[in-house]
Amino acid sequence: MTGVLERFRVDGRVAVVTGSGQGIGRAIAWALADAGADVVLNARRIGDLEVTAAGVEERGRRALVVAGDIRDFSDALADRALDEFGRIDIWVNNVGGSDEKDVRLLVDTPDEVFRSQVELNLTSAFQGCRAAANRMPDGGAIVNITSGAGTRGSPYTGPYAAAKAGLINLTQTLALELAERGIRVNSVSPGPVITEAYRAVLGIEDRLDELVRTIPLGRAGTPDDIATMVLFLCSPAAGWITGEHHLVAGGRTQRSYQYRPKETPQ
């Protein structure tokens, strides 16, 4: 009889993790490797990916580095994974965020910025889900990294929130469509995890204490807080969970902290 902890293992499986050059994506890759998976890594910066790959290999698993902008790249990434490892069992769409370095009112948002946000946070994830589902065996697992911003109004980050709302719905739809194949599709929404990318876009360094006061558990999240949830959803332990949106946010269910545009020096 298999012990319950063994159900959290993913030995022998192959996982693709996009946006795995640093932060949450790197933590997810390392968690999956800790649990026995070989990992295909993708991000734009090769140096970051090499650090993540070294961590995967230190955990006794194989790593494949495939650098490139994930937009319109998922099929090529999936084919590289198949060429190297012969299978794909897990796909984590972690790429997201913003190429913009400030936030603004939705009515002040140029079309090209809105389109860019949708392409980065929704379209690329759709392409990843499609690439994965068309190649993985029955019983695989897909996890989309979404955001609590997609579950409610989100002043000043409207395009991002709209794209993440779409991703939550896409997750639920794919879960129903793929259930007959036993492919489970879930989403994870991180609360405030103060990564490099989070700092760069939202510029909240001088307001971290204010932000933390909105979190009932009294601290910001860590990449490992998110990675452990993703590992659970990819493992046999979550074998009866699909189509669910999981908020991992230290108890913060409402967005009581308001992001605002950075002040322009006079």
Radius of gyration of the chain (CA): 18
Q: Residue 66 contacts by C-beta under 8 Å, 6 or more apart in sequence?
A: 40, 41, 42, 76, 77, 80, 81
Q: Sign (positive/negative) of CA torsion 73, 34, 183, 244? A: negative
How much is the pLDDT for 258?
56
How much is the pLDDT for 190?
95
How much is the pLDDT for 197?
66
Q: How many CB atoms lie within 10 A of CB 173?
A: 13
Structure tokens at 112: 């090209």
From first to last of its 266 residues, the chain has per-residue pLDDT tens of 568 999 999 999 999 999 999 999 999 999 999 999 999 999 999 999 999 999 999 999 999 999 999 999 999 999 999 999 999 999 999 999 887 777 899 999 999 999 999 999 999 999 999 999 999 999 999 999 999 999 999 899 999 999 999 999 999 999 999 999 999 999 999 998 987 766 655 555 667 788 888 899 999 999 999 999 999 999 999 999 999 999 999 998 866 555 666 664 44
Q: Which positions are catalytic?
A: 160
State the Cα–Cα distance between residues 236 and 37, nearest whole angstrom: 13
pTM: 0.93
Q: How many CB atoms lie within 10 A of CB 210?
A: 11
How much is the pLDDT for 265?
46
How much is the pLDDT for 65?
98
How much is the pLDDT for 21?
96
**CB-count exposure of residue 251 (10 Å: 0-12, 13-18, 19+):** exposed
Q: Taking the domains of the chain in order of start, what are their residue ranges?
A: 4-247
- Residue type at 195? T
The fold of the 4-247 domain, in CATH, is Rossmann fold (3.40.50)
The bridge status of strand 245-248 relative to strand 90-93 is: unpaired
How much is the pLDDT for 260?
66
